[in-house]
């Protein structure tokens, strides 16, 4: 991803919410100090403790969180926030005045109707927010977009078009601010699919992506990664059989795998995960077809002629996740495997808000 985006001459800001691990962050970031994106203030605090100094908190700010943001910033961390309303801008401006310190803000712009943000066509609101911030003592740093609707696509041409739509929306919003005499030094866009398939990033200053660093089955369905690129598996043990039903029972239920069923909306439904041998090689059409809290029900995909593998009680398997962020959130560490399959390191990760 670094090499790909470097070819466009833009900065890369990896989203650390996927791994929530300083060890992974040091591989993903371009320097030990960042830049980086986080999705919770707990992440911001954790990565600040680890020496990361350039972060964006990528969730719309609530007034009750501003004191915590300032507490992180006074530790020498350039933590920026995002917002998409005059009400938020007013609260931020008031906090900046009372706290007596600069507070950098990016205005969230809606690239595709997926979630939050102001329409790039709504110049009046963009300018109104910008003026509220700059006149109130905050620092307008730029605009930020997330093309979340790209997750519903799967062919390269459509993904490239989504990336271009995101770029055009960003450039238009930035232009509206600049034409009103407002600063907009940062034009930040990103999602793993659009970062992967972007063909032109003219007018963009930085790109963000997160899931790419681990990969998951949903991104395989989108086409952003190949199944062999997925770096994360859950190690599970066979604890029983229901042979008449064609089931193998494991000790990895939804508490280990997560409840995420995002692939159910894709062309290939991967159940709760794809089942692999210990080397990470998938068994033909073998998935976790259902899951209880601590039980995984492994079966051959419906309609497949593949045979159920012979996995006696005590056998171990690896399960590829539907959503790396959600599966990772069920655990507090990663066991890092060397070339021989032995654990070569243990990397802690954090959860919480």
The full DSSP string for 284-304 is EEEEEEEE-SS-EEEEEPTT-
Give the C-alpha separation, 302 to 304, whole Å. 6
Task: Report the topology of domain 2-213.
Answer: TIM Barrel (3.20.20)
| Phi, psi torsion values for 315, nearest 5 degrees | -65, 150
Write down the pLDDT at residue 149. 87
Give residues with Cβ within 8 angstroms of 346, minimum separation 6.
333, 334, 335, 336
Same fold, 2-213 and 232-348: no
* Token pair of 189 as six digits: 């866009």
Burial class of 62 by CB neighbour count within 10 A (0 to 12, 13 to 18, 19+): exposed
Which run of H or E residues covers position 241?
Answer: strand 234-242
């079966």: which residue's tokens? Answer: 299
Question: Would strands 186-189 and 247-250 be described as parallel, antiparallel, or unpaired?
Answer: unpaired
* Token pair of 271 as six digits: 């159940």
* In the chain, domain spans: 2-213, 232-348
With H, G, I as helix, E, B as strand and everything else as coil, classify residue 85.
Answer: coil
Tally the C-alpha atoms within 13 A of residue 32's C-alpha that lie toward its C-beta: 4
The answer to whether 120 and 167 are in contact (CB under 8 A) is no
């993904």: which residue's tokens? Answer: 159
Kindly write down the DSSP assignment for every residue of 116-181, as one continuous string: S-B-TT-HHHHHHHHHHHHHHT-EEEEEEE--GGGGG--SHHHHHHHHHHHHHHHHHHHHHHHHTT
Buried b (16+ CB within 10 A) or exposed e, 265-282: ebeebbbbbbbbeeeeeb
- Supply the pTM of this predicted model: 0.94
Burial class of 243 by CB neighbour count within 10 A (0 to 12, 13 to 18, 19+): exposed
With H, G, I as helix, E, B as strand and everything else as coil, classify residue 343.
Answer: strand
Give the C-alpha separation, 280 to 339, whole Å. 12
Write down the pLDDT at residue 339. 84
Gyration radius of the chain over CA positions:
22
Give the C-alpha separation, 60 to 45, whole Å. 17
Report domain 232-348's class. mainly beta
Tally the C-alpha atoms within 13 A of residue 270's C-alpha that lie toward its C-beta: 27
| Residue 271 DSSP code | T
Give the C-alpha separation, 252 to 246, whole Å. 18
Which run of H or E residues covers position 345?
Answer: strand 343-348
Question: For each of the chain's 353 residues, which pLDDT tens digit applies?
Answer: 999 999 999 999 999 999 999 999 999 999 999 999 999 999 999 999 999 999 999 999 999 999 999 999 999 999 999 999 999 999 999 999 998 878 999 999 999 888 899 999 999 999 999 999 999 989 999 999 999 888 888 999 999 999 999 999 999 999 999 999 999 999 999 999 999 999 999 999 999 999 999 999 999 999 999 999 999 999 999 999 999 999 999 999 999 999 999 999 999 999 999 999 999 999 999 999 999 999 999 999 999 999 999 999 999 999 999 999 999 999 999 999 988 889 999 999 999 99
Helices then strands, each counted (H, E), the chain: 11, 16
Q: By C-alpha distance, which of 263, 274, 147, 246 is closest to 201?
A: 147
Give the C-alpha separation, 214 to 27, whole Å. 11
């Amino acid at each position: 991803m670094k090499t790909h985006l470097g070819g466009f001459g833009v900065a890369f800001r990896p989203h650390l919410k996927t791994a929530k691990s300083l060890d992974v962050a040091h591989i993903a970031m371009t320097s030990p100090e960042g830049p980086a994106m986080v999705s919770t203030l707990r992440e911001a605090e954790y990565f600040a403790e680890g020496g990361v100094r350039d972060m964006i908190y990528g969730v719309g700010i609530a007034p009750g969180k501003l004191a915590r943001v300032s507490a992180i910033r006074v530790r020498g961390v350039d933590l920026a926030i995002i917002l998409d309303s005059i009400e938020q801008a007013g609260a931020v401006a008031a906090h900046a005045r009372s706290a007596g310190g600069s507070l950098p803000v990016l205005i969230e712009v809606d690239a595709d109707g997926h979630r939050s943000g102001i329409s790039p066509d709504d110049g009046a609101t963009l300018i109104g927010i910008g003026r509220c911030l700059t006149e109130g003592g905050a620092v307008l740093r730029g605009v930020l977009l997330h093309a979340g609707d790209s997750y519903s696509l799967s062919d390269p041409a459509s993904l490239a078009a989504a990336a271009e739509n995101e770029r055009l929306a960003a450039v238009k919003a930035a232009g509206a601010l600049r034409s009103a005499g407002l600063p907009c030094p940062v034009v930040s866009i990103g999602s793993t699919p659009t970062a992967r398939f972007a063909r032109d990033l003219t007018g963009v200053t930085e790109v963000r992506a997160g899931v790419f660093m681990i990969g998951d089955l949903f991104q395989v369905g989108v086409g952003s990664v190949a199944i062999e690129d997925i770096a994360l598996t859950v190690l599970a043990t066979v604890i029983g059989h229901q042979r008449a039903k064609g089931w193998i029972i494991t000790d990895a239920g939804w508490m280990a795998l997560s409840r995420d069923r995002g692939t159910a909306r894709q062309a290939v439904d991967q159940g709760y995960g794809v089942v692999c041998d210990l080397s990470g090689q998938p068994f033909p059409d073998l998935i976790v077809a259902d899951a209880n809290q601590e039980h995984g029900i492994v079966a051959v995909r419906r309609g497949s002629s593949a045979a159920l593998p012979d996995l006696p009680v005590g056998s171990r398997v690896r399960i590829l996740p539907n959503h790396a962020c959600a599966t990772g959130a069920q655990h507090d560490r990663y066991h890092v495997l060397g070339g021989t399959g032995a654990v070569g390191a243990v990397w802690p990760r954090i959860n919480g808000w």
